Amino acid sequence: MKKALITGINGQDGSYLAEHLLSLGYEVHGMVRRHSVAENQNSRLHHLNDSIHTHYGDLLDYPSLVRVVSKVMPDEIYNLGAMSHVRISFDMPSFTIQTNALGVLNMLEVYRTICPDAKFYQASSSEMFGNSVDEDGVQRLTTSMNPVSPYGCAKVMGFNLVRHYRHAYGLHACNGILFNHESPRRGSNFVTNKVVKGAVGIKKGLQDKLEFGNMDSYRDWGHSKDYVRAMHMILNHETPDEFIVATGETHSVRDLCEVVFSKLGMDYRDYVVQNPKYMRPEELKYLKGDPSKANQILGWEPSYTFESMLDEMIERWENEL
């Protein structure tokens, strides 16, 4: 039985990845940070409590990484732990850089010294491209990286560290450059679930408006379930490499609002207002990824569409609000 260690297992992607690996017969271990409210710590993992093993640790606490990796001795490491909110990275730049860049360095060092025969996956991000777009309106592996947030800057460093450790030490270390991916488990302060939760709340009479920042930023949105399948395929490809995981379609926040409110029989223009406090100091305007390498080499294809993903998210909030 293969053993996998997932940092950030209690996040959206970590919880779906744990489910996917369990379905493949893995022994799954996860590293979690201590929260003062235990329910927040494991809210996405309650249904897996009897199937997974969790360990306290932190990417910035090197001794805890040594302890966890030495105890588990994993065959596969998925480094998903991060400060994951791009807008908040402007408010917490130092913590973001430490966690998303130096935290990767810490994990790579522990991996290199304790279990160098394992395979290592780093959760890289489309935010690394910033506003660089090829002439045909697509971002691909050859597109220059010019990040426009502390989050994006830190992810670029982590990405390059993984490539450096692979080449310098002969490690099976790879990067998945994942474009935006969502699900019913996404935090409600992320724009997709903010839209869905807010629209359902308005429909049920629980609120009367919804505030946003930039309505005309475009993103390539897929479903987390599809993207964790890609993570496993990337890590288990015979040659460690970099892959873009995306749908190849892009929608604006305005499009997102229109689709969600329309599904609920409403016109978003009657309820959505812009608030400058949600604007980023520097905006990322447009993301659209080229997944052709993952399609052709790994055989990966998304199973969800933009609309079927939103249907699932709407159903969650209709049942919970």
Q: How far is Cα 100 from Cα 183, in angstroms, rounded to an integer?
A: 22
Q: How many helices (H) and strands (E) does the chain have?
A: 12, 13
| DSSP element (H, E) containing 3 | strand 3-7
- Alpha-helix residue ranges (DSSP H) falling in 220-297: 224-235, 253-263, 292-293
Q: How far is Cα 146 from Cα 132, in angstroms, rounded to an integer?
A: 6
| DSSP element (H, E) containing 5 | strand 3-7
Catalytic positions: 125, 127, 151
CA distances from 282 to 8, 114, 147, 159, 278 (A): 27, 40, 10, 22, 12
Q: How far is Cα 268 from Cα 256, in angstroms, rounded to an integer?
A: 10
Dump the DSSP string for 131-162.
T---TTS-B-TTS--B--SHHHHHHHHHHHHH
**Closest by alpha carbon to 176, among 89, 300, 75, 58?**
300
Is 221 in contact with 260 (CB distance < 8 Å)? Answer: no
The tokens for 142 are: 């050859």
Residue-level length of the chain:
321
